[in-house]
Amino acid sequence: MPDWTKRFDNISDYKIKIPRTCFEGMRVPGIIYAGPELVDDLKSDDAPQQVANVATLPGIVEYSLAMPDIHYGYGFPIGGVAAMSVEEGVISPGGVGFDINCGVRLLASAIEAGDARAKADELATNLFRDVPTGVGSTSDIRLRGGDMDKVLRMGAAWAARNGMGWDEDLEYCESGGGLEEADPGEVGRRARERGANQLGTLGAGNHFIEVQEVEEVFDDRAARAFGLEKGMAAVMIHSGSRGLGHQVCDDAIRSMREATARYGYELPDRQLACAPVESPEGCAYYGGMCAAANFAWANRQCLAHTVRGTMERVFGASAERLGLRLVYDVAHNIAKFEEHEVGGKKRQLCVHRKGATRAFAAGHPELAGRHAGVGQPVIVPGDMGSASYVMAGTPLAMAETWGSVCHGAGRVKSRTSAKKDFNAATVLEELAAHGVIVRAGSKKSLLEEAPGAYKNVDHVVGTCVNAGLATIVARLRPIVVIKG
């Protein structure tokens, strides 16, 4: 593969430009946010080529962006952000991903981290038993009759109104845990079959539930607004729309692979299949995507309900007494219609985030009341051996990245290499030495997700902060990790 770093223009220590002339067909330049410690990773796979490929999409506005957790995906790079003109641009299911609304939810608590550590084994055993994980796992929640349509329309609200959550949870979800434009009619039979028994299941791969300690607070005011306190326990949930979302994307790509040719688009990668935003295909996809996104929010709401129940039994007190309040729930694979400033004028854009998180600044009308003065919480999980971070969005992110930042640590090693290079017993011992107890569905899953397979999350978050895209509010350390 080419050494991309030779073709870059370094705009700053944290911002790299791929000029439009670099690759035939680029309509806009590419911008990759990567600090000095991360630049070498850009040589290890062809992710910059994917940034350039996205830049060829019709109607892309200003830049093809990539966040510092950038790595090679399929079509779009992971960490990719692209805003499209609503009138002239395209919407691309590959720019969202198969796991529509894969995202992260964080619950704060009034439990002392020391008490959580003292019960770590019990927490691990009970969470691993209570939360369905792994291939073929099914949920106890049975959707009957018109229930599925209600889930697809209402999202997290369906779960909250069926005894699986608190009404206040909805205020602390991105988009209130549900997108109004959801069209259950665009979720086909196969997608419904796949999702029928999966509401409230974790999945596998890099999905997880962690009990964590709020190890450090860097911004007292923001931490108070978010409900985070140093030395207390927290719970992080990473999951998405399960088989339902995967199928909605699959069906849309199938529909768009024919549409792409009909609209006369020549694409460097079939995975970038797309249609005009306002076309019948584009609207159909968006309606289905919103419905699948709502399924994911309902899923994380149900998972949080299960976790609250487990914590109640382990600590012998109600979830309310334990203070298990929702800090925030963010999506990191999604397309949104948002108003942004372009060339001094406000414009409606279709913003694709594929492995990137929305990070709106203080004062944005979509923010919950408690967050209005500090900015949107951004939850960034690291690998299971290191830290996760909570950040807050900034005005510079609004100006430069359509209000977007990274979503995680970003992989640096393939799963094949991870299985060759790491040993399960050693990984577990090293994690235990750092006070982390893991329950994973298999050794393979453990190895593929071993800490060494990921970039250093401190560097990824550091790039976002040094580039002015976000501020750090808190750092969290894992105590218990559950994986499929």
Partner 1 sequence: MAPYRIVEHTADAGVYVTGGTLEELFADAARGMMSVISEVPPEGWPETHVVELSAPDAESLIVDWLAELLYLLEVKNFFTTDPRVEKVEGGEMRAVVGGARLRGVVHATEIKAVTHHMISVDRTMNGFETTIYFDL
Encode 17-26: b = buried (16+ Cβ within 10 Å), e = exposed.
bbeeebbeeb
Structure tokens at 222: 């923001």
CA 317 to chain centroid, in Å, comes to 31
Catalytic, out of 71, 340, 364, 407:
407
Within residues 344-403, the interface with partner 1 by CB under 8 A covers none
Among 444, 458, 466, 468, binds partner 1 (CB under 8 A): 444
Within residues 46-75, the interface with partner 1 by CB under 8 A covers 47, 71-75
The answer to whether 140 contacts partner 1 (rule: CB under 8 A) is no
Min dist CB 94 to partner 1, Å, is 8
Scanning 267-321, the segments in alpha helix (DSSP H) are: 280-315
The answer to whether 177 contacts partner 1 (rule: CB under 8 A) is no
| Contact track, partner 1, 447-476, x by CB under 8 A | -x----------------------------
Within residues 71-90, the interface with partner 1 by CB under 8 A covers 71-75, 78
Min dist CB 243 to partner 1, Å, is 5
The answer to whether 420 contacts partner 1 (rule: CB under 8 A) is no
Residue 194 or 352 with smaller CB distance to partner 1: 194
Q: Tell which phi-psi region holds residue 474, choosing left (phi > 0), alpha (psi between -120 and 50) or beta.
A: beta
CB under 8 A: which stretch of 121-129, 229-237, 422-430, 444-452 binds partner 1? 444-452
**CA distances from residue 85 to 111, 142, 277 in whole angstroms, order as listed:** 47, 41, 8
The answer to whether 294 contacts partner 1 (rule: CB under 8 A) is no
Among 4, 8, 63, 98, binds partner 1 (CB under 8 A): 98
CB under 8 A: which stretch of 59-67, 165-173, 175-183, 251-259 binds partner 1? 251-259
Say if CB 77 and CB 50 are below 8 A apart: yes
**CA distances from residue 305 to 130, 208, 378 in whole angstroms, order as listed:** 11, 15, 21
Say if CB 272 and CB 94 are below 8 A apart: yes
Residues 238, 379: Cα–Cα separation, whole Å: 10
407 is catalytic: yes
CB under 8 A: which stretch of 1-9, 55-63, 242-250, 309-317 binds partner 1? 242-250
The answer to whether 40 contacts partner 1 (rule: CB under 8 A) is no
Residues 253, 192: Cα–Cα separation, whole Å: 17
Q: What residue has token string 């968006």? A: 286
Say if CB 100 and CB 334 are below 8 A apart: yes
Among 17, 27, 224, 257, binds partner 1 (CB under 8 A): 257
Say if CB 375 and CB 360 are below 8 A apart: yes
Residue 233 or 244 with smaller CB distance to partner 1: 244
Residue 414 or 423 with smaller CB distance to partner 1: 414
Among 442, 452, 466, 468, binds partner 1 (CB under 8 A): 442
Among 142, 161, 221, 254, binds partner 1 (CB under 8 A): 254
Among 411, 439, 459, 477, binds partner 1 (CB under 8 A): 411
CA 73 to chain centroid, in Å, comes to 14
The answer to whether 417 contacts partner 1 (rule: CB under 8 A) is yes
Residue 332: name the closest of 269, 272, 245 by CA: 245
Residue 434 CA neighbour count, 13 Å, CB half? 20
Residue 195: name the closest of 282, 321, 299 by CA: 299
Structure tokens at 352: 């694709």
| Contact track, partner 1, 190-209, x by CB under 8 A | x--xx--------xxx----
Residue 155: name the closest of 165, 311, 145, 416 by CA: 165
Residue 388: name the closest of 226, 215, 202, 225 by CA: 215
Structure tokens at 42: 């850009």
Residue 30 or 245 with smaller CB distance to partner 1: 245
The answer to whether 43 contacts partner 1 (rule: CB under 8 A) is no
Residue 130 or 366 with smaller CB distance to partner 1: 130
Which residues form the catalytic set? 407
Interface residues toward partner 1, by CB under 8 A:
44-45, 47, 71-75, 78, 97-99, 134-137, 190, 193-194, 203-205, 243, 246-247, 249-250, 253-254, 257-258, 269-271, 273, 411-417, 441-442, 444-445, 448, 484
